[in-house]
Amino acid sequence: MNKTASEAARFVRELASALPMDSAVEIVLAPPFTALESVRTVLGSASQIALGAQNMHWEPHGAFTGEVSGPMLRDLGCTYVIVGHSERRTLFGEKDHDVHRKVRAGLANGLRPILCVGESLDQRQSGHTESVVTGQIDAGLAELSASEADVVTIAYEPVWAIGTGHAATTEQAVAVHRSIRARLAAGWGRETAERVRILYGGSVTPQNAESLLRESDIDGALVGGACLKIESFATIALAAKNRPAH
């Protein structure tokens, strides 16, 4: 919940010129609902930068005051939607079955869901990281075909690292990413597991982005606070551009 529509427009105008444009790097901006239209206008139809939403409702329309639907997002030019973010789960009580319905709704409306998964500090300290994360994967992708799962991006965001400044170490992140890919392979096949992009999110900064993104198991980053400053976001995007070929 940052930046008004006019603030976001000014920000993206400057940001677009600072970001490295490279066909090998996909950049998605997910502003608040109120800023989607202004950001879309600034980017224009020819921009290589994609537009995403931070959340959505699973129904296409109806008596759901305050909610925003897939068709609304698609009409605004969104191609991605974040679902199951830890703040939605912890602050707003979203459950796995709610997240699953949103994944389904995103796919039904031509949106590519970015499914967020991650464990709390207590869950990590008690040795339940893998079971929690793979359980969220199973629930979020339940009954999806391999071709549907291909469209979903997974974002591993340890809850204990989000907004705290304490990112997971590269080794911790890689270990969970490998567990996620193994679970995808077991449930949807090896080819799907290799195609699905798995991002790391949780206090991604210009200081740790290069170390994280050089790992072949980490396909990209879900950037939080660091994307609110043009220089730091551009530095992270440059780290993605310069990552070694795998």
Q: Mind listing the domains of the chain with CATH numbers?
A: 5-241 (3.20.20.70)
Q: Binning pLDDT at 50, 70 and 90, where does residue 214 land?
A: very high
Query: Pick the catalytic residue: 85, 100, 119, 177?
Result: 85
Q: Where are the beta strands (DSSP E) in 95-197?
A: 112-117, 153-156
pTM of the model: 0.96
CA-nearest of 172, 27, 196 to 115 is: 196
To the query of whether residue 85 is one of the catalytic residues in this protein, the response is yes
Residue 22: pLDDT band by 50, 70, 90 thresholds?
confident
Looking at the chain, the whole-number percentage of residues with pLDDT higher than 90 is 91
Catalytic residue among 100, 157, 177, 215: 157
Q: Are 125 and 172 in contact (CB under 8 A)?
A: no
- pLDDT tens, position by position, 111-155: 999 999 999 989 999 999 999 999 999 999 999 999 999 999 999
Q: Which residue has the higher pLDDT, 203 or 107?
A: 107
CA-nearest of 122, 138, 133, 135 to 156 is: 133
**What gap in Å lies between CA 206 and CA 114, rounded to an integer?**
22
CA distances for 236 relative to 30, 42, 73, 99, 192, angstroms: 16, 22, 27, 28, 27
